[in-house]
Amino acid sequence: MQLGMVGLGRMGANMTRRLMRGGHTMVVSDLSADAVNGIAGEGAVASSSLDDLVSKLNPPRAAWIMVPAGDPTEKTVQALISTMQAGDAIIDGGNSNFKDDVRRSKLCAAKGVHYVDVGTSGGVWGLERGYCMMIGGPKETVQRLDPIFKTLAPGRGDIPRTPGREKMAGTAENGYIHCGPSGSGHFVKMVHNGIEYGMMQAYAEGFDIFKNATSKELPEDIRYDLNLPDIAEVWRRGSVVSSWLLDLTAIALTENPTLSEYSGFVQDSGEGRWTIQAALEEAVPAEVLTAALYTRFRSRQDHTFAEKMLSAMRQKFGGHVEPKSH
């Protein structure tokens, strides 16, 4: 299948590579000519502008946007709407607010252009592992684009089937689902990231307790000098708290048990705030997720080992680089 990719950053470039490996034809665009030329050297079709990208796509066209959420995505969508024709599809694979998706889908519909929002998880590891995708938009359009989603997704792999799942249809076991109408994909991804905040915070606080088990404030006979890399490693093997985030934690602690290269300054990308806002609008208690978000705010003022843990996990799964400690 032919697809346009707008944005060749950490994820956009690797998604392009994975799709080309799967036999798809990619037309690419980016503000950086070097990025375009680099991917073109690997087999993609280069374009010099969004208009040029659209002109090189065959109807019904499909263009995937992988640029920062907010104004960059808004401008890209608006530019594509002005160029595309009825029957074409715009796919936003970034981290847009789901309410923006609803608004944009109406703008697209006025011109007969289909709008699909895809919450995408996989980070810098997605090229090899595949991407978990949560998709919103018109059912017929999502079905037409299924070859793209199927290639990007991880597939069943070696994960054991959930008991009873063999009686259920759908693509969830392959790593992607159609959640519902416009905005639902990014809504599910938003809550996914809110949960991610909470999980990361739980690991970070637990290991901070381990690190401070040598505190002079404790009676000498209950001070423990614990091996943090070993604890992370043993938990990966048979523990109920094992997860990919723990795998990444083990990598970071093995590389440097003190995490001295991390500042403890932890950014939030927006989805955590939006998750809490949605919880407020729905009158749903979300104490853990709210506390995890507030801890990220605090991390920008006062750094603890827990925040270094959070920085380490973000760097490992998403390539997020935080300022180095002084």
**Given CA atoms 307, 312, 316, 320 in this order, what sign does their dihedral have?**
positive
Report DSSP letters for 255-268, one per residue. Answer: H-TT-TT-------
18, 65, 101, 111, 143 from 78: Cα distances, Å: 27, 12, 12, 12, 24
Give the list of residues 6+ apart from residue 103 with CB closer than 8 angstroms, or none.
Answer: none
DSSP 235: H
Tell me, yes or no, if 139 is annotated catalytic: no
Catalytic residue among 56, 74, 128, 196: 196
Catalytic residue among 189, 211, 308, 316: 189
DSSP 322: P
Strand partners, 3: 26
Q: Round to whole Å and give the CA distance between 247 and 203.
A: 11
Give the list of residues 6+ apart from residue 162 with CB closer than 8 angstroms, or none.
Answer: none
Phi, psi angle pair for 120, to nearest 5°: -120, 125
The answer to whether 154 touches 132, Cβ cutoff 8 Å, is yes
The answer to whether 218 touches 133, Cβ cutoff 8 Å, is no
Tell me, yes or no, if 196 is annotated catalytic: yes
Report DSSP letters for 134-173, one per residue. Answer: EEES-HHHHHHTHHHHHHHS--STTPPPPTTGGG--SSGG
Name which of 89, 167, 169 is nearest 135 in CA terms.
Answer: 89
**Given CA atoms 193, 199, 202, 204 in this order, what sign does their dihedral have?**
negative
Q: Round to whole Å and give the CA distance between 321 and 326.
A: 15
Residues assigned a catalytic role? 189, 196
